[in-house]
Amino acid sequence: MTAERLLDQSGISHEIAFDPDGEVTLDAMKAFWEAAYRETANPYLAIDAGIRAAHGSYKTLDYLFLAATTPGDGVRRYIEHFRLINTWLNFTLIEDSEGHHVVLESKIGPVPFAAVEITFAVLVERFRKKLGSEWAPLSVEFLHEPKGDPSYYHGFFRTKVRFAAAQARLSFDKQGWDAPIASGDQGLFDVLSDHAQNLTKQRPQPDDLVTRAQHQIMRSLGNGEPEIEDVAQALSVSTRTLQRRLAQRDVTYLQIVDQVREDQARNLVASGSMSISEVAFFLGYSDQSALTRAFKRWTGLTPRKFRLAQGQ
């Protein structure tokens, strides 16, 4: 099966699938995994995917983890900024006499079993990258029954694995949690932590469809004014759903497009990093005069006069 066919069966647009900042809905992700399991007939597909996820695939989070000076610091930052990867999954960190426990939950519905398996497999692989290939967690708990032979799970995690548990939980012993990592770099870790914090603040919440629409519009402007049907498809919702959610905020789609353009235009014109004609092209206007008319409506000034007023 090709990736394109799998995406089509799942109702995921190719544009959002290959967008580094793109994210699909919980329902679309469930459909994706169902199609993938059906086509491959591999009961360990999610575990295998986590094992094969290249280091660096998660960009800032992977490098942040690699720079950590203790495993505990790496995990804390990883789960704190996990929204950079996925906005509808959520972690809770619990500490007790046995150790530290990372609990995986969903903000908007039951956690798909594949999401738990791939997430835990990725975390274990990241730990083994830092601590050696023989490292093992204290224990692993899954909400679901095993999809294949339980010995496969025990073989990979190399610890006790419990199925049909009350929580999806990955546990670490206290000694390993605070063990110093010689290859860690505190200075780089601090810089990456600040960078991750800034990125996390910009990431929309999973139920904030309006903010997600704004981000999608901003990414699409270079190809002209995006149609609402295209934006809805990229967000994996119907056009009617998008219109209804916007109406609940007392805003229309065209108003959002206009606001995104205004915000971007003000910043780009003031910065002087682009010519006025380049700004017009970047924001999807047919020509510079169209931008000028809109800019005068927003500010009362032409882009050139606005730039001069900013000292550029």
Q: Note the pLDDT of residue 172.
A: 93
Of the ranges 71-80, 120-129, 148-157, 302-311, the best mean pLDDT one: 148-157
Question: Is the model's pLDDT at 134 over the cut of 70?
Answer: yes
Report CA 238 to chain centroid distance, whole Å.
Answer: 21
Residue listed under structure tokens 């993938």: 36
Of the ranges 163-172, 192-201, 219-228, 241-250, the best mean pLDDT one: 163-172
Question: Is the model's pLDDT at 68 over the cut of 70?
Answer: yes
Element spanning 216, H or E: helix 209-220
Question: Is the model's pLDDT at 26 over the cut of 70?
Answer: no
Quick one: 108 exposed, middle or buried, by C-beta within 10 A (0-12, 13-18, 19+)?
middle
Question: 3-state DSSP call for residue 104?
Answer: strand
Give me 192's structure tokens.
């990456």
Backbone angles phi, psi at 250, to 5 degrees: 60, 45
Query: Which tens digit of pLDDT belongs to each residue from 38-49?
Result: 888 999 999 999
CB atoms within 10 A of CB 274: 13
Give me 131's structure tokens.
């601590």
Query: Which tens digit of pLDDT belongs to each residue from 187-232?
Result: 999 999 999 888 877 765 655 677 778 878 888 887 888 899 988 8
Give me 114's structure tokens.
């594949």
pTM value > 0.85 = no
Indicate the DSSP class of residue 223: G
pLDDT band at 108 (very low <50, low <70, confident <90, very high): low
